[in-house]
Structure 1
Amino acid sequence: MPPPARPGKWGDLSARFWSGVAMGVVGIGAILLGGVWFQMLVIFVTAVMVWECWIMIRGASPVSGMLVAAGVASVMAAQVFDGPETRQFLPLFLVAPLVGACVLPRERLTFAVFALAIQVAGWGLAHLRLDYGMTWLLWLVGLVVVTDIAGYFAGKALGGPKFWPAVSPKKTWAGTLAGWAAAAGVGAGVAALTPAGAGIVVLSVLLSFAGQMGDILESAFKRRQGVKDSSALIPGHGGLFDRFDALLGAALALLLVAGVAGLPGGPS
C-alpha cells in the first residue's frame, strides 16, 4: 500500500484561508462596534494567549492554566472597562508574571516577559480604540494582516535566503521584504485618505518590522519548548498566540510611538 500523499507547500492554504476569514469577521466586527464588544474580545484573546504561554511551559495542566487565564481576564476587565483612570492599577499586570515565577518549574523569566507584554499590548489596543477611534486600529490590524499575507505568499513562491534561520527557519528575506512593501502600501493608502501625512508610510513599515519580530520571538519560544503551535484552537493557524504574535509586537511598538510622539494626524 503506497504511503499517503504528502501535502505540497500550499497544503495548509485552505484551512488558513477559512480560519482567517472567520477571525477577520469577528475581529473587524468587534472593532467597528467598539465599546464592550471590542473590550470583551481583547480580554478573551489576552487571557487565552497567556494561557497558551503557560501550557507550552508547564504542559497540559488544566487547573493551573485556567486559574491563570481567569486571573488575567479579571485584571484586564478592571483595566479596560473603566477608562483611563484605571492606569494607576497597571501594576496589577505583574500578578500573572509573579505567579509564574513562583509556580513554573522553568522558563520563568520567559513567561513573565511574554505575559506582561501580552497584557500591556491588550490594554493598549483597547485604549487605542477608545482614544483614537476605529481608523487607527483598522490601520494597525490591516498592516499586520497584509504583512503576513504578503510574506506568506512571497516566501512560499520565491524562497531564497532565510531571514534568521537559527530562530525562524521558514522565514525568508523575500517574504520579509514583501511584508514591508505591503505595509508601505497600506500606509500610503492611509496617507491619501487621512491627514496623517507621508510619515504614516514610514511608521507602517516600522510597525510591520515590529510585527515580524513579534512573530520571530514567538517562534523562538515555541522552538525552546519543542512545540509546533501554541495550541490547536484555530485550524491551520495553531493557537491565538500563533495568530496574534505579530499584532503583539506591532501594538507594543505603536504604544511606544504614541506615548513619545503621538500618532500622525491625532485622534479620528
Structure 2
Amino acid sequence: MTAKPGQWDDLIVRMGSGAAIAVVGLACVWAGGVLFLALTVVISTVMVWELTRMLDVDAPALLIAGFAGLALLIADQMPPGYALPLLIVPAFVGFGQLKLRRVTFMLYTVMILLAGYGLFILRQDFGFVWMLWLALIVIASDVAGYFAGRFIGGPKFWPRVSPKKTWSGTIAGWIGAAAVGWLFVASTGAGPQLIGISIALAMAAQMGDIAESAVKRRVGVKDSSNLLPGHGGLFDRFDGMLGAAIFLLLVWQLVDFPPGLS
C-alpha cells in the first residue's frame, strides 16, 4: 500500500529521541543497582506528575509526584509485605488533593508505583537478560505496530480514541513479540511457553497504550507532556511498559518464570 503524504514526517524525530531513551535505559538496566533504582524512581515520579497535570490542572502535581517518588524509593529498600501499603499511600494522598477524576488518578498511580517496584525486583531477582527480554518485547511490539500500521494500514483498532492504531499494527506487534520470545528460547534454553508469555505481554503493553490514549481523549490533551520530542511525555512513552510490567507481576504467580529454567 502506498504511504500517504506526511505519513512518515514524525519518524526521524521519534527515532532520535527514542534512541536516546534506549541508550540511557539500556545503560541503567545493564548496571542495575543504584542506577536502575534511580531510573525507575525518576520515570515513575514523572509519570505521576504528568498524570496529575492531565487529570486536574489545579492540583499540586509536583508535590504529589514528589511524595509518590519518595514512597517508591523507600519501598524499594523494604520487604514486599511492608512495601505494598507504602506504594498505595500516594494514591490516597493525591485523592485528597485532586478535585477532578480522582478514581482514575488512584488506579493509575497504584499501577505506576507497583510497576516501578516490580521492575526493580525483576532486575534484582532475574538479572539483566530478563529485563532486556521485557524491554525488547515492548519495543518490538511498538516498532512492528508502527511500521505495519503505516505501511499496511487497514481497519482501525479504536478510531474514536486512537485514530492511528490499526488491526494490522496490533497483530504485527504480537508477531514481533513472538519473534523476541523465540529468540530468547533459542538463546537461553527457556521453554517454548516463553513465546506465549511474550505475546501476552505485548497484548498487555498494547492495552496500556490504549488505556492511556482513552484517558488523554477524555481530558482533551494530545500528549501527557512535551518532555520528549516526537513522543510527548514519559507517560506516552512508557504506557506500554506499564501494562506489560503489571501483567508480568501476575505471570510470576501463575507460571514458573522463566519457564523451563526455574
TM-score tier by shorter-chain length is over 0.9
The 3 A distance-change label for structure 1 pair 120 and 52 is same
Q: How does 1:182-197 map to 2 (within 5 A)?
A: 182-197=176-191
Q: Hey, what's the Cα distance between the residues in 1 that align with 2:83 and 2:112? A: 16
Q: Partner of 2:248 in structure 1?
A: 254
Q: Contact 2:75–2:82 at 8 Å: present in 1 too?
A: no
Q: Contact 2:56–2:101 at 8 Å: present in 1 too?
A: no
Q: Partner of 1:219 in structure 2?
A: 213
Cα offset for 1:266? 4.5
Q: Partner of 2:72 in structure 1?
A: 76
Count matched residues: 257
Q: Hey, what's the Cα distance between the residues in 1 that align with 2:100 and 2:173? A: 35
Q: Partner of 1:26 in structure 2?
A: 24
Q: How does 1:223-238 map to 2 (within 5 A)?
A: 223-238=217-232
Cα offset for 1:37? 0.4
Cα offset for 1:93? 1.7
Which whole-Å deviations, capped at 9, do the CAs of 1:150-183 have from their partners, x for residues lacking one? 1001101111101122332221001001111110
Q: Hey, what's the Cα distance between the residues in 1 that align with 2:246 and 2:126? A: 16
The 3 A distance-change label for structure 1 pair 53 and 266 is farther
Q: Hey, what's the Cα distance between the residues in 2 that align with 1:212 and 1:229? A: 17
Q: Hey, what's the Cα distance between the residues in 1 that align with 2:22 and 2:62? A: 26
Q: Contact 1:161–1:172 at 8 Å: present in 2 too?
A: yes
Q: Hey, what's the Cα distance between the residues in 2 that align with 1:157 and 1:127? A: 38
Cα offset for 1:60? 6.5
TM-score w.r.t. length of structure 1: 0.93
Which whole-Å deviations, capped at 9, do the CAs of 1:122-167 have from their partners, x for residues lacking one? 0000000001111111000001001100100110111110112233
Q: Hey, what's the Cα distance between the residues in 2 that align with 1:86 and 1:250? A: 20
Q: Partner of 2:121 in structure 1?
A: 127
Runs of 4+ residues over 3 Å off in structure 1: none
Q: Contact 1:42–1:122 at 8 Å: present in 2 too?
A: yes
Which whole-Å deviations, capped at 9, do the CAs of 1:207-265 have from their partners, x for residues lacking one? 00000000000000000010000000000000000000000000111110112323114
SS at match of 2:134: helix
TM-score w.r.t. length of structure 2: 0.95
Q: Partner of 1:204 in structure 2?
A: 198
Cα offset for 1:86? 4.6
The 3 A distance-change label for structure 1 pair 252 and 235 is same
Q: Partner of 2:9 in structure 1?
A: 11
Could you say what the CA RMSD is over the residues aligned between the two structures, in angstroms? 1.4
Quick check: 1:65 aligned with 2:42? no
SS at match of 1:9: coil
Q: Partner of 2:50 in structure 1?
A: 52
Choose from 147, 151, 167 the match for 1:153. Answer: 147
Structure 2: unaligned runs, 5 residues or longer: none
Structure 1: unaligned runs, 5 residues or longer: 1-6
